[in-house]
Amino acid sequence: MARFDSIYQELLGTIVKKGIREMSERTKHETAAIPGMHFSIDIEKEGFPILTLRKIPIKMFVAEQIWFIAGVRKPADFLRDYTKIWDNFTNPADVVTVAYGYRWRKHFGRDQLGLLVDLLKKEPSSRHGVVVTWDPATDGLSLFKKKNVPCPYTFTVNIIGGRLHFHNIVRSNDVILGLPADVAGFALLQIILAQKLGVKPGVYSHSISNAHIYDNQYEAAKEILKRESTHKPIHITLPKNAYDRAEKKDKKLLDEIVENITAQYKPLEAIKGLQVVL
């Protein structure tokens, strides 16, 4: 079994067996939850962390990361051609106010992602490569039920031993639907940043404050835990200049990355009827 599939089954099994079941006041759904879950996977040595225990949509997370790198916040600007995943979080002006890439590149008055690249080019050993999505002026700490606040709210990038390592910190992860897309998407960002900086990708780490599954996913979780995958590790070969092309919202870049992954991706069948709880 591919390394990420093993990690995922272990994490999911822990939630199913030991998760605390409580009702969410906001969603009116029961969740089974575990606090403080963490895993790491070495992308160069163990393969790209894409779930093969069930089929996940590749175009969705690739398009999302290109949209993030471009720093825009309207789904009509590139993203909606490939996925409508952010349409539930737009305001009447069709803007996602918490669009992650916009927060990284414009929201705080500085281009965090651009500065990260510049910093690690000039000082590869720096430990200051932190990018923040969470805005303490507006996010969280309120009973007002916003449509969306960032789930992956900060990440840290380090170059150690000539390889780029990425630590993603997530306040809340729906382990059935959210986590597989988040891990694949941010691991792709890691690979794109590594290429931009002329180093190899290293360890992807994922830390979750509240890892949970919803009551309408319990049966799907049991099904996934029964499955066995003999999938070989996937190793992504990026087209040249992926970071620069992503900034320009290059549609050919998306096609090339999707083609490279799709040629290697032979997952088990999709689980039908899974619904996002908002």
Predicted confidence band of residue 188 (pLDDT cuts 50, 70, 90)? very high
Structural domains in the chain, sorted by start: 3-262 (3.30.572.10)
d(Cα 186, Cα 61) in Å, to the nearest integer? 9
Percentage of the chain exceeding pLDDT 90: 92
d(Cα 48, Cα 44) in Å, to the nearest integer? 8
Kindly list the distances between the CA atom of residue 269 and the CA atoms of 27, 55, 73, 229, in Å, as whole numbers in the listed order. 29, 6, 33, 11
Burial class (CB in 10 A: 0-12, 13-18, 19+), 1: middle
Would you please indicate which residues are annotated as catalytic (active-site) residues?
Answer: 151
The 10s digit of each residue's pLDDT in 6-57 is 999 999 999 999 999 999 888 889 999 999 999 999 999 999 999 999 999 9
d(Cα 265, Cα 31) in Å, to the nearest integer? 31
The predicted structure's pLDDT at residue 146: 74
Is pLDDT of 278 > 80? no
**Nearest 5 degrees, angle CA 189-CA 193-CA 199?**
130
The predicted structure's pLDDT at residue 141: 93
The 10s digit of each residue's pLDDT in 133-182 is 999 999 999 877 777 899 999 999 999 999 999 999 999 999 999 999 99
